[in-house]
Structure 1
Amino acid sequence: MSLPFTSRLNHFLLLISVASLLAGGISYLLTAPDLARLLWLAGVIPVLVALLHDSVRSLLQRKAGVDVLALLSILLAISLGEIPTAAVIGLMLASGRTLEDYATAQAQREMTALLQHAPRYAHRFESGEWHKIDIKAIAPGDRLLVRNGEVVPADGNLLSEATLNESTLTGESLPVKRAAGEPLQSGAINADQAFEMLATANSEHSTFAGIVQLMRQAQQQQSPSARLADRYALLFVPLTLIIALFAWLISHDLTRVLAVLVVATPCPLILAVPVAIVSGMSSCARRGVLVKGGAALERLAQADTLFFDKTGTLTGGHARLAVIQTSAGIKADNVLWLAASLEQASNHVLAESVVGAAREHSIALALPQHIEESPGAGISGDIAGHHVVVGSYAYVSSQAIPAPWSPLFLQRLGYEGASGVFVGMDGMMVGALQLVDKLRLDTPRALRRMSLAGMRRIVMLTGDRKDIANTLGTQLGVTEVLAEQTPADKLAAIRQARDHGIVIMVGDGVNDAPALAAADVGVAMGARGAAAAAEAADVVLQVDRLDRLVEALFMARRARRIAAQSVIAGMGMSIVAMLAAAFGHLPPITGALLQEVIDVAVILNALRARQPPPAAASQMSQQDAAALSAEHRELESLLGQVAQLADRLPDLPGPQAVAELNALYQALNEQLLPHERQEDHELYPQLARKLGGDDPMAAMSGTHREIFRITRLLDCLIGDLPAEGPSPQAVQELQRLLYGLDAILHLHFSQEEELYHSLSSQG
């Protein structure tokens, strides 16, 4: 990849400065002083022309740059006949510009590497063979092959198991295993054997294409020519000229004036701030957070008010299957099989949830044919000889006869704030799936860390009803809930909040775009989200995890702090050197060399912003966390049986009640209790050692003891039941224990899921 013109020019200036200084020095030693002066001057002229060009451009753009100090120092050195000093100043300036290029390139290495990562071709299955095609030829529904080491060319769903390196998308360095049926994002690298996939989008509308486009925009917005530190020149340039004037007044020696100008050239201001800010942007990019420009990073570091859209931001945006409704004579698994088989070819957000639910139920899916999709409404196609239609009630009912249960099902969806996916087959509505958008595992901890970071106001925005919104807001502990919000309402709330602080707005949908654009810092969740939201945002989270925004906040503050440290230290050292030069204690050439040392020190300090914060010692592998989460999912059905039996217990015949109670306790004893004991005796001690402290897992172990106590009471009570069934008083006691067990198990599982997710995502 060729260097940009500015970098090539700076390399040329450095080369000619070094060559002329060396050639002049050799000529001087060979007793040819006139030739030496000409050679030194030849090396200074190109630097002088470049400085003059930059200064004129700054004036035309009405910017106050510190390049004027460098221009004055060289002109004064030449006018005083200090040609060797001018040559050293030229070398110092050229090396400073080259050093800045190097530091900037290092700072944005992660962003540049991403742009070089884009795939150019794919392998598509056609007429019984694999054909190499241009990536632009990919269409939804294409069957693609991704070989070892190749980049996934388009978004889609896996048709076979795969091991992927997703570091360019998520910032996670370890490869992850994905099972057949899981959604797949373009940009990931195949880290193992070749696998097949079904495309759900063409390359231009896939995740990685969006990330690359946004990255190019970010690079364009933080070009080195637009130095963020120029605003400081309004103070520093006059200060330098005042010290230079002071040197003249006390000595009437222009050499001292020259020395003052030399040690102020080039000022650390033009080096420290852009390097530190770009380093912070690069550090964010490494963790899957794209910041569009240095100004956005600075605003992020200063923000004190946080607004969130609920759906897809606080909640996962990836609903989980809760209920399968079926028509008479239709099995639930068949409804899920039809829906998931067809949804493999859809890019709708609910499609991933449906396919994921089928995978969790170990349902083998069929390949759809003759696919037609109405974006936002539904999809139709042929599955195993049947014409299937899947989507919203309005879409499916327009092509299939509605079922008698559909009005009540729609009513229940409204009460619970859930989503529904209806399924029609051969002209009849055969079932529906109720999907619930659960809270993200990282959300509670992310909001707590935001509060600890000094966010004085955290506001949840949602279009949901007030009762649903207030319940979630209370659960999360946000400072304010604004429900039933239209896009216009969100926009008004953001504008009002900006009068009292710097506002961050986080969203992921088209209706969030106006609010994202109005906020001081707009944050779009997931580069795969709505293009309008990502385009309007200042920050894009390439992975749908809210805790990455917290990391970006801390990295932005660290970068800004390091930039300020570098500026203060650099200016302080330069001012001390200028005063020394004003009193005649620092000759021009010595001052030039000293300023070069200051520049190098400032840049090295600014590059510290590129390093991420030290990783916490308390980590567990993603594989271990995934295994524990899988165990919890296996126990979910058992947890559901506890409350269901408590509900039905008063209406059950006595002998049946005894039988079901015994069956439930046997399942608890064989599945739940061994799981809890294993965690208490093996897992918790390991986590305690990693977390540190006296007994960090005490509260979680206490929950285990309560679970053991309740199940022991259940065992005793069930064991004492007569064959004819429990008495009314025993039924009440059993219900009390079952409801208590249900509540504590759901709370405990939720706490563990958050803990495991937190520990596995800190690397």
Structure 2
Amino acid sequence: MAGALTRSLALLAMAAGGLVLGALGWWKGEDALAIWAWSAGTIPVLLALTIHILQSMRRREAGLDILAVLAMAGALVLGEHLASVVIALMLASGRALEAYAGNRAQREMTALLGRAPRTARRYVGERIETVALDGIKPGDRLLIRTGDVLPVDGTVAAGPVVLDESALTGEPLPIRHVAGETVRSGTTNAGDPFDLIAVTTADESTYAGVVRLVEAARASKAPAARLADRYALLFVPLTLAVAGLVWLLTGEAHRALAVIVVATPCPLILAVPVAIASGMSRCARRGVLVKGAGALEALATVRTLLFDKTGTLTGGRARVIAVETGDGYASSDVLRLAASLDQASQHVLAEAIIAAARARGLPLASPSEVVEHPGFGIAGLVNGHRVVLGSFDYVSRHGSQPPWSARLLRRMGHEGVAGVFVGLGGAMAGAILLADEIRPEAPRSLRLLRKAGVRRAVMVTGDRRDVAEAIAAALGLDGVVAECTPSDKVRAVAREHSRGPTMMVGDGVNDAPALAAADIGVSMGARGAAASSETADVVLLVDRLDRLAEAMRIARRSRRIALQSVLAGMGMSFAAMGAAAFGFLPPLAGAMLQEAIDVVVILNALRALGPVRPRGARTTLSETEARRLKAEHDKLVPLLDRIRFAGDQLAGGISPPPSEELVTLGALLRDRLLRHEQEDDATLYPQLAKLLGGEDPMAAMSREHREIGQLVRVYSRMVADLGSGPPDDLALRDVQRVLYSLDAILRLHFAQEEEIYQALTDAA
């Protein structure tokens, strides 16, 4: 792109120099010098344009510049030397402006390539050595100094650390990471130096994959012809026909030349690539890599959307949703002991259990005498306790099966969740339930995608039909194709293609064939498989589905601006052609008028570089602020678990908790939960209302606060009425009903609040 700008500026300098030198010669009466200078300023542009046309024809692309070549050549032949150099100056300046716009539009991509580190500092015993990136192996301990770009993906050895992730995600504020968290290459250390444990080689890292994708996008066909070609097929023959007819009827070649001069299709040649390249730049700035102009145009026309489930509509990682315990066991103790033992496990669910314990602030101990049976479970000592966790059958072999376990197994089947059972001291103490939950931004993202033009949304997944249908129903999808293989996904894409342009969104290796089969494939490239990222036409560099809706809006706006520029430019050109045909516009004046038209349409095309603001959008939350608000909810999760646990204990066949425990729960609800909701109403909701706009956008959420408060008050009165004597079964059933109602509304309320936070985090 820089080379194109240099060549364009050189041609511009020659055309401008020829015009100025010729004007000086004409002013001094040196007509021969003037003609020579104007011709010398024209011929280099004419030759460069002719070469470009031949190259385009060799690629079987429309030669849009043919009218400009005819205009310059005709002006030279007919002695209109001043007109010829003005046309040359017009074209050279337009090309330079296009190259500048393209250079600016590629700035985000070029910045990514320029940031790639070349070396890293690795620990070797007690000393530190500088090594080339290809010398880094998984497990190496690297020193990341302040300001360094992380060379590979890895885990933080000791934290907290602060990283600037804007180059990959577009998030302007630094992000805090704690020890043990995975961080990606390409981010910058914005805090103190820290040690990084490499988990990939440089070639397999996130940043290396992004660089490869950027280079592929830059090497793709220049965004000049696709949209313009369709108009050129009509515009060029029509212009030549009008010019020929004028020459035939009037016999004046100069008048025919004037028609060609004003018809030089710079709106087609320049405005379209400027608008499309600007749209690609805007997408890159928002963390969406679009691989070429064709992909951006296709993105603007999509009507049917197909999603993979895992990692796309859901988080792709198991998350602890509940901790169920038997009589005499606290959920926090069960989770703490299980997470402590899981520190020595390689099981895929271990990371989720450890993360849940850390999120709740539970102190973890070092396990000992650990024995793991891969695929079944793990056993060991934690703080003197014999802890066993794993499948139901594995834990049952190390202790008895309590009555509540059969009910829990049935519930797990109904809800489609996984469970890790926990045994303590030879008895089954509880179970940790995990699920791959719907992404917090998924419901909003689907609404935005429908607003952006999607008419039909379908899930294609290899997961069980009952699980897939439950998620599809929750998201309001139009169809589900479950239990399918990669070839089944390809067939699903082919079936949906009959309804209109299709887009497939996925993140796994098994999604790659479907991504290639769709009109446009989109990969969740932030942590998706390399195969899907390399196959896809669009890669989401940030792990957020709502950025896809934004990219569609950018694509539609860029295409609309390109069409506006083309139609406005062509309309003005047709009007000028009419004036030239009737002799009111000589070639020189026509060339100057065409230059003005070019400037207008190119400046309009540059509007595509600006942000796309949804109607009614205001300012936004930062990612850091949204995480802080989410962390406040995480602190209340143990209380929610305690509500559900108390309700389960009140179920038939299970000994109810002592009245003191019910009273203690009521005090926690008043002191922690209601205080949290009151603070939200007093301070947080007014701030969110300003960001959302409207008269009272948080009215429904405040109404839920009142309902939560009412349920807490009803629960407290019911518990007070139980007294100290034996509780009445009907009274306990009423308490249980209130607890389950409170559990349901709180979980829904927290999910709604987090969706609002996510919606406001997408900084414009």
Normalised by the length of structure 1, the TM-score is 0.89
CA distance in 2 between counterparts of 1:647 and 1:402 reads 23
Aligned length: 730
Quote the residue 2:401 is aligned against: none
Q: Give CA-to-partner distance per residue, 1:155-214, whole Å, 9 cap, x none.
A: 111122112211111111122222222220111111222222211111111111111111
CA distance in 2 between counterparts of 1:36 and 1:613 reads 49
Aligned residue type for 2:496: A
* 2:659 is the alignment partner of 1:658: yes
Quote the residue 1:209 is aligned against: 208
Deviates more, 1:87-96 or 1:435-444: 87-96
Aligned residue type for 1:724: G
**8 Å CA contact 1:337, 1:363 repeated in 2:** no
Q: Give CA-to-partner distance per residue, 1:628-670, whole Å, 9 cap, x none.
A: 211111111111111221121255667x531221121121122
Task: Rate the CA distance shift 1:563–1:388 in 2: closer, same or farther, 3 A.
Answer: farther
Quote the residue 2:339 is aligned against: 336
1:481 match: secondary structure = strand
Aligned residue type for 1:749: F
Quote the residue 1:619 is aligned against: 620
**8 Å CA contact 1:392, 1:420 repeated in 2:** no
Quote the residue 2:581 is aligned against: 582
Task: Rate the CA distance shift 1:318–1:335 in 2: closer, same or farther, 3 A.
Answer: same
Give 1:36 shift. Answer: 2.5
Matched ranges for 1:182-261 at <5 A: 182-223=181-222, 228-261=227-260
CA distance in 2 between counterparts of 1:101 and 1:333 reads 60
Give 1:358 shift. Answer: 5.0
CA distance in 2 between counterparts of 1:641 and 1:584 reads 89
Quote the residue 2:676 is aligned against: 675
Give 1:434 shift. Answer: 5.5
**8 Å CA contact 2:276, 2:296 repeated in 1:** yes
Matched ranges for 1:231-380 at <5 A: 231-322=230-321, 333=336, 335-340=338-343, 353=352, 356-357=355-356, 359-362=358-361
CA distance in 1 between counterparts of 2:534 and 2:59 reads 27
Give 1:754 shift. Answer: 1.0
Quote the residue 2:150 is aligned against: 152
Matched ranges for 1:339-488 at <5 A: 339-340=342-343, 353=352, 356-357=355-356, 359-362=358-361, 392-393=375-376, 405-406=393-394, 417-418=416-417, 435-488=434-487
Quote the residue 1:570 is aligned against: 569
Quote the residue 1:59 is aligned against: 57
Q: Give CA-to-partner distance per residue, 1:117-159, whole Å, 9 cap, x none.
A: 2121211121112222212222111112211221111111112
Quote the residue 1:111 is aligned against: 109
Give 1:516 shift. Answer: 0.7
CA distance in 2 between counterparts of 1:391 and 1:285 reads 43
Quote the residue 2:137 is aligned against: 139
CA distance in 2 between counterparts of 1:715 and 1:418 reads 32
Deviates more, 1:686-695 or 1:499-508: 686-695
Quote the residue 2:513 is aligned against: 514
Quote the residue 2:75 is aligned against: 77
Give 1:223 shift. Answer: 2.2
Aligned residue type for 1:336: A
Give 1:472 shift. Answer: 1.4
Quote the residue 1:703 is aligned against: 704
* 2:533 is the alignment partner of 1:534: yes
Q: Gapped runs of 5+ residues in structure 2?
A: 380-387, 397-404, 423-428
CA distance in 2 between counterparts of 1:363 and 1:720 reads 35
CA distance in 1 between counterparts of 2:371 and 2:117 reads 34
* 2:8 is the alignment partner of 1:7: no
Aligned residue type for 1:589: L
Q: Give CA-to-partner distance per residue, 1:209-230, whole Å, 9 cap, x none.
A: 1111111111111426756523
Quote the residue 1:712 is aligned against: 713
Q: Give CA-to-partner distance per residue, 1:493-514, whole Å, 9 cap, x none.
A: 1101111201111111011111
Give 1:685 shift. Answer: 2.3
CA distance in 2 between counterparts of 1:716 and 1:665 reads 9
Task: Rate the CA distance shift 1:137–1:392 in 2: closer, same or farther, 3 A.
Answer: farther
CA distance in 1 between counterparts of 2:551 and 2:81 reads 49
CA distance in 2 between counterparts of 1:87 and 1:414 reads 79
Aligned residue type for 1:195: F
Task: Rate the CA distance shift 1:388–1:575 in 2: closer, same or farther, 3 A.
Answer: farther
Give 1:554 shift. Answer: 0.7
Quote the residue 1:165 is aligned against: 164
RMSD of the alignment, in Å? 3.1
Give 1:543 shift. Answer: 1.3
CA distance in 2 between counterparts of 1:395 and 1:60 reads 66
Quote the residue 1:100 is aligned against: 98
Aligned residue type for 1:740: S
**8 Å CA contact 2:224, 2:272 repeated in 1:** no
Percent identity between the two aligned chains = 50
Give 1:295 shift. Answer: 0.8
CA distance in 2 between counterparts of 1:575 and 1:340 reads 74
Give 1:713 shift. Answer: 1.1
Task: Rate the CA distance shift 1:393–1:575 in 2: closer, same or farther, 3 A.
Answer: farther
CA distance in 2 between counterparts of 1:302 and 1:677 reads 46
Quote the residue 1:743 is aligned against: 744
Task: Rate the CA distance shift 1:637–1:610 in 2: closer, same or farther, 3 A.
Answer: same
1:405 match: secondary structure = helix
Deviates more, 1:225-234 or 1:410-419: 410-419
Give 1:627 shift. Answer: 2.0
**8 Å CA contact 1:280, 1:559 repeated in 2:** yes
CA distance in 2 between counterparts of 1:318 and 1:256 reads 71
**8 Å CA contact 2:376, 2:391 repeated in 1:** no
1:41 match: secondary structure = helix
Deviates more, 1:530-539 or 1:406-415: 406-415
Q: Give CA-to-partner distance per residue, 1:728-752, whole Å, 9 cap, x none.
A: 1211211111111111111111111
Quote the residue 1:40 is aligned against: 38
CA distance in 1 between counterparts of 2:633 and 2:539 reads 32
1:718 match: secondary structure = helix
CA distance in 1 between counterparts of 2:246 and 2:87 reads 20
Aligned residue type for 2:213: L
CA distance in 2 between counterparts of 1:394 and 1:287 reads 43
CA distance in 2 between counterparts of 1:494 and 1:395 reads 43
Q: Gapped runs of 5+ residues in structure 1?
A: 367-382, 424-429
Give 1:362 shift. Answer: 4.5
Give 1:407 shift. Answer: 8.2
Give 1:401 shift. Answer: 13
Task: Rate the CA distance shift 1:86–1:677 in 2: closer, same or farther, 3 A.
Answer: same
- Of the three residues 124, 127, 132, the one matched with 2:125 is 127
Quote the residue 1:374 is aligned against: none
Aligned residue type for 2:758: H
Quote the residue 1:378 is aligned against: none
Task: Rate the CA distance shift 1:162–1:84 in 2: closer, same or farther, 3 A.
Answer: same
CA distance in 2 between counterparts of 1:11 and 1:688 reads 51
Task: Rate the CA distance shift 1:638–1:421 in 2: closer, same or farther, 3 A.
Answer: closer
**8 Å CA contact 2:144, 2:195 repeated in 1:** yes
**8 Å CA contact 2:303, 2:455 repeated in 1:** yes
CA distance in 2 between counterparts of 1:390 and 1:158 reads 28
**8 Å CA contact 1:210, 1:528 repeated in 2:** no
Aligned residue type for 1:626: R
Normalised by the length of structure 2, the TM-score is 0.89
**8 Å CA contact 1:140, 1:200 repeated in 2:** yes
Give 1:255 shift. Answer: 1.0
2:723 match: secondary structure = coil
Task: Rate the CA distance shift 1:744–1:83 in 2: closer, same or farther, 3 A.
Answer: same
Task: Rate the CA distance shift 1:513–1:420 in 2: closer, same or farther, 3 A.
Answer: farther
CA distance in 2 between counterparts of 1:720 and 1:365 reads 40
Quote the residue 1:16 is aligned against: 14
**8 Å CA contact 1:183, 1:352 repeated in 2:** no
